Structure 1
Amino acid sequence: MSVSVEELSPIRKKLVIEVAADQVTEKIEQAYAKIAKTADLKGFRKGKVPRAMLEKHYAPRMEQDVAGSLINETLYRALLDNEIVAVAQPEVVESGQVEKGKAFTYLAEVEVKPEIVVKDYTGIELDREILQFNDESVQQRLEEMAASRAQLEVSSRKKTREGDTVIIDFEGFIDDTPFENGAAKDYQLELGSNSFIPGFEEQLIGLKREDEKSVEVSFPENYGSKELAGKPATFKVLVKEIKEKVEPKLNKDFAGEFGCETIDELRDKLKDDMVKQETARIDNQVQEALMNALVENNPMEVPDGMVQNQLLHLKDSFTSRLKAQGMSLEMLGMNDETFSSTYYPMAEQQVKGELILEAIAKRESITTEDSEIDEKIKQIAEEANAPLDNVQEYFKKPEMRQGLEHQVQHDKVISFLIDQSVVTEVEPKQEDAAEKES
């Protein structure tokens, strides 16, 4: 076998591979021997078809089988012998004729990682938000937690107000005629939730139990039912019960639901968690700015195969999060095609960033030690509140450990680069402060 390699671009190579004539002849003989066992031609018993008849009737099949077999046996050997690491499935772009006693030649193209001479990765100017935190934020979080655990109880108040949940019977009419699916009994409706027809809930505020009211509304023009869209309607409503949300008291019983003995202990725990979350947000912000600067300082072309793999990873992660929330891409008005077109630039940016970090790690001799991997495994077990033995067993799998080693090295390179950057502490931006308040 002889191989010649041509560089088409920094990320693509062409291989011209020639397979020796004797190897081709051997494959042809093997192919016809295999075909002869199953060949079914009129006038001949199975397995007794003469070679000349096989060549006459089965030559196309033989050529296809032999070409495929030769390519499978030689392509990856050619890559290995020439130290070419493919980042995607090689593509056979041209294939020669299969003939006895003659060499077989084919052309393949393969995507490879670009060779990067990374530059301008030290002295990068970065802004880092000053961590701002106060006890009011903790109290607000406590109150939100209490509100999320509120229970509906029959109200002692006589009249309804916004935020109450009412139990009602109703029947809808258009031009004094009841319409289909326009009635219900013991319907539970939160006033102010805007879950009903616009204008309906507001007209129930200030009513008492057993009050009856005619509610006048108009269906929206874009209402789901074309028969009702845009039409005025009257609903006869009976208020049967008034309920209000009652939040649990912030006492030791409430704290106990979160594994704490006192509210003060819960406050301290919340504060620690919130500080960690805010610190992580700021860290991520700095890292994103760093990666953007690195990519801008080191323009390059990257293999589409690598981008497609990263895009698949993004899609799997995104759809998993949606599934956990009972949602899907389709519910967001997306499909595989629109997801790919939307997130391709992000995937491409991430691939460029990872290639740059790999090049810096190599240049700066940043490696990982077994002790660092073991420490990371302990950290994962603690954060997941999982038995250490189970987590250690999980990361004994070669592909899992390799991924963890890559993550640890990634984190070490990021830490090195931030240490080499010029970091300025700044006040949080107004939009960031508004996001935290919301």
Structure 2
Amino acid sequence: MIANWEKIEKNVGVLDVEIDADQVSVALDKAFRKVVQKVNVPGFRKGKVPRGIFEARFGIESLYQDAIDILLPEAYTNAIEQAGIEPIDRPDVDVEQFGKGKAFKFKAKVTVKPEVKLGDYKGLEVPAEEISVTDEEIAAELERLQQRHAELVVIDEGPAQLGDHTSIDFEGFLDGEPFEGGKGERYSLELGSGSFIPGFEEQVVGLNIAEEKDINVTFPENYQAENLAGKPVVFKVTLHEIKRKNLPALDDEFAKDISEFDTLDEYKSDLASKLKERKTKDAEIARETAIVDKATESAELEVPQVMVDSEITHMMKDFENRLRQQGMNLELYFQFSGQDEAALKEQMQGDAEKRVRNNLVLEEIAKAENLEVSDADIEEELDNLSKLYNRPAEELRNIFAANGYLENMGADLKVRKAVKFLIDNSKQ
């Protein structure tokens, strides 16, 4: 096989490949054995038609596409290895020559990983944050705990307030006509949660039990239902029930109920320690992010959009998984947020590009500093995942290997080593 690589622009080049005629002959034989199983020729059983009769009846050309399909994947893989390139997208293949007794020639237009020119990445100066915990932060944490352990008490009279949990009937009308999906009965709504269209929940505030009200709102311009996007509508709302949080008193009994401590002062002291520990960890992550950002800012590279699009796809999957954990899905999220898929992807564009850029720079730093991932590193990571998921490490290894994830694990660990290298070689 002959494979020549020529870069034509930025991160795009052409791979010129030639496979000798002997391999073409072998591929044609395989193609015949495949195709002959499917053809009907009078006087012969399926799969038993002699090669000469087959070619006389259907022509050798009828085997060409199947033979190309057999040859091309392996030929392309071998060619990119020989050329030493890293494609990041499907190639655009143009077959230039294929035939019996001839070499197989094709060109593949390929988008590859961009070249990265590193700037300063050693001795980067990012000051460490001084960590302290204030009385206000402790008080805020205690209030969150009160909210979490509060009881919902039914309110028999008085108007609804922000923070109340309500039960409502509603029906939406556009130009006086009810619209699809705009009706709900005994719907549970926390006022101030932002679950409904902007302006809706605020207008429920002040309603009394059994009171009805027409609520006027306008759907967002980017709402996924085109017939409602940007349109003013009226919701007829009836309030059925109000539940309000009854906060527990901040005293020793409260401390005993939610912790292993006997007094509120003891619990506050422990809370202060945990808050400091949390803030310290957050500060370490923030400093790490700042150092990686500095290393990336000093590097020179152009990020291909195809890599950004791929990262957005991963981000969308992660986002959907988080929604499922909360009992939601993308469809419900789009209804509540007024966004659509295109708007959400656009919102992710900047973060996705930054992630790709950072990753490419970290990979280049790992290469420049000869940072390698050993078998022991892989085993340690599998052990950590085993503890996290409570499954045997060997079982996880087999799962990852079967799905081709072990290689990705190695790449991720190498990037982590590059981050550690930046931290270890930074200044405070």
Q: TM-score, normalised by structure 1?
A: 0.69
SS in 2 for 1:202: coil
1:274 aligned partner: 275
Alpha-carbon contact 2:116-2:300 (below 8 Å) kept: no
Cα drift, residue 216 of structure 1? 8.2
More off after superposition, 44-53 vs 6-15: 44-53
> Unmatched 5+ residue regions in structure 1?
173-178, 205-211, 424-438
Letter of the structure 1 residue corresponding to residue 273 of structure 2? D
2:141 aligned partner: 141
Are 1:360 and 2:365 counterparts?
Answer: yes
> Is the alpha carbon distance of 1:193 and 1:250 closer, same or farther for their aligned partners in structure 2, counting shifts above 3 Å?
same
Letter of the structure 1 residue corresponding to residue 216 of structure 2? P
Separation in structure 2 between the aligned mates of residue 89 and residue 169 of structure 1, nearest angstrom: 51
> Unmatched 5+ residue regions in structure 2?
172-177, 220-227
Letter of the structure 2 residue corresponding to residue 93 of structure 1? V
> Is the alpha carbon distance of 1:411 and 1:276 closer, same or farther for their aligned partners in structure 2, counting shifts above 3 Å?
farther
1:426 aligned partner: none
SS in 2 for 1:113: coil
1:202 aligned partner: 206
The superposition leaves residues 162-201 of structure 1 with CA deviations (integer Å, 9 ceiling, x where unpaired) of 579799999x9xxxxxx9x99999x999899999886665
Separation in structure 1 between the aligned mates of residue 165 and residue 32 of structure 2, nearest angstrom: 83
SS in 2 for 1:45: coil
1:71 aligned partner: 72
SS in 2 for 1:38: coil
Alpha-carbon contact 1:121-1:417 (below 8 Å) kept: yes
Separation in structure 2 between the aligned mates of residue 371 and residue 216 of structure 1, nearest angstrom: 68
Give 1:318-333 correspondences, 5 Å limit.
Answer: 318-330=319-331, 331=334, 332-333=337-338
Cα drift, residue 300 of structure 1? 0.9
Separation in structure 1 between the aligned mates of residue 66 and residue 183 of structure 2, nearest angstrom: 68
Letter of the structure 2 residue corresponding to residue 45 of structure 1? F
Cα drift, residue 369 of structure 1? 6.4
> Is the alpha carbon distance of 1:405 and 1:252 closer, same or farther for their aligned partners in structure 2, counting shifts above 3 Å?
farther
2:44 aligned partner: 45
Letter of the structure 1 residue corresponding to residue 18 of structure 2? E
> Is the alpha carbon distance of 1:412 and 1:264 closer, same or farther for their aligned partners in structure 2, counting shifts above 3 Å?
farther
Cα drift, residue 4 of structure 1? 2.1
Alpha-carbon contact 1:197-1:217 (below 8 Å) kept: no
> Is the alpha carbon distance of 1:317 and 1:35 closer, same or farther for their aligned partners in structure 2, counting shifts above 3 Å?
closer
1:284 aligned partner: 285
Cα drift, residue 103 of structure 1? 1.4
2:302 aligned partner: 301
Letter of the structure 2 residue corresponding to residue 70 of structure 1? L
SS in 2 for 1:39: coil
Separation in structure 1 between the aligned mates of residue 124 and residue 269 of structure 2, nearest angstrom: 37
Give 1:346-425 correspondences, 5 Å limit.
Answer: 346-367=351-372, 390=392, 394=396, 397=400, 406-423=411-428
SS in 2 for 1:220: strand
Letter of the structure 2 residue corresponding to residue 202 of structure 1? G
Separation in structure 1 between the aligned mates of residue 117 and residue 153 of structure 2, nearest angstrom: 68
Alpha-carbon contact 2:160-2:242 (below 8 Å) kept: no
Cα drift, residue 357 of structure 1? 1.4
Alpha-carbon contact 2:91-2:109 (below 8 Å) kept: yes
> Is the alpha carbon distance of 1:296 and 1:45 closer, same or farther for their aligned partners in structure 2, counting shifts above 3 Å?
same
> Is the alpha carbon distance of 1:120 and 1:333 closer, same or farther for their aligned partners in structure 2, counting shifts above 3 Å?
same
Cα drift, residue 142 of structure 1? 1.5
Separation in structure 1 between the aligned mates of residue 269 and residue 394 of structure 2, nearest angstrom: 31
> Is the alpha carbon distance of 1:270 and 1:374 closer, same or farther for their aligned partners in structure 2, counting shifts above 3 Å?
farther
Separation in structure 1 between the aligned mates of residue 286 and residue 74 of structure 2, nearest angstrom: 49
SS in 1 for 2:14: strand
Structure whose CA Rg is larger: 1
SS in 2 for 1:96: strand
Alpha-carbon contact 2:28-2:67 (below 8 Å) kept: yes
1:54 aligned partner: 55
Separation in structure 1 between the aligned mates of residue 298 and residue 129 of structure 2, nearest angstrom: 23
Separation in structure 2 between the aligned mates of residue 169 and residue 65 of structure 1, nearest angstrom: 63
Alpha-carbon contact 1:191-1:202 (below 8 Å) kept: no
Alpha-carbon contact 1:165-1:244 (below 8 Å) kept: yes
Alpha-carbon contact 2:308-2:353 (below 8 Å) kept: yes
> Is the alpha carbon distance of 1:139 and 1:294 closer, same or farther for their aligned partners in structure 2, counting shifts above 3 Å?
same
Give 1:324-343 correspondences, 5 Å limit.
Answer: 324-330=325-331, 331=334, 332-343=337-348
Cα drift, residue 65 of structure 1? 0.8
SS in 2 for 1:143: helix
Cα drift, residue 358 of structure 1? 2.1
Letter of the structure 2 residue corresponding to residue 287 of structure 1? E
Alpha-carbon contact 2:166-2:190 (below 8 Å) kept: no
Alignment identity in percent? 25
Separation in structure 2 between the aligned mates of residue 337 and residue 169 of structure 1, nearest angstrom: 32
> Is the alpha carbon distance of 1:30 and 1:161 closer, same or farther for their aligned partners in structure 2, counting shifts above 3 Å?
closer
Separation in structure 2 between the aligned mates of residue 31 and residue 230 of structure 1, nearest angstrom: 66
The superposition leaves residues 386-435 of structure 1 with CA deviations (integer Å, 9 ceiling, x where unpaired) of 76x75686467556666565555444433432454454xxxxxxxxxxxx
Are 1:96 and 2:96 counterparts?
Answer: yes
Letter of the structure 2 residue corresponding to residue 73 of structure 1? E
Cα drift, residue 143 of structure 1? 2.2
Separation in structure 1 between the aligned mates of residue 121 and residue 161 of structure 2, nearest angstrom: 57
More off after superposition, 61-70 vs 372-381: 372-381
Give 1:104-183 correspondences, 5 Å limit.
Answer: 104-126=104-126, 128-153=128-153
Cα drift, residue 79 of structure 1? 2.6
Cα drift, residue 354 of structure 1? 1.5
Alpha-carbon contact 1:90-1:108 (below 8 Å) kept: no
> Is the alpha carbon distance of 1:97 and 1:149 closer, same or farther for their aligned partners in structure 2, counting shifts above 3 Å?
same
2:174 aligned partner: none
The superposition leaves residues 127-171 of structure 1 with CA deviations (integer Å, 9 ceiling, x where unpaired) of 55443421331232122212222223477x99778579799999x
1:27 aligned partner: 27
Letter of the structure 1 residue corresponding to residue 362 of structure 2? L
Separation in structure 2 between the aligned mates of residue 102 and residue 57 of structure 1, nearest angstrom: 20
The superposition leaves residues 309-355 of structure 1 with CA deviations (integer Å, 9 ceiling, x where unpaired) of 32222222122222223334442444554444442343232222122
**1:220 aligned residue (216, 221, 224):** 216
SS in 2 for 1:17: strand
Letter of the structure 2 residue corresponding to residue 355 of structure 1? L
Are 1:315 and 2:336 counterparts?
Answer: no
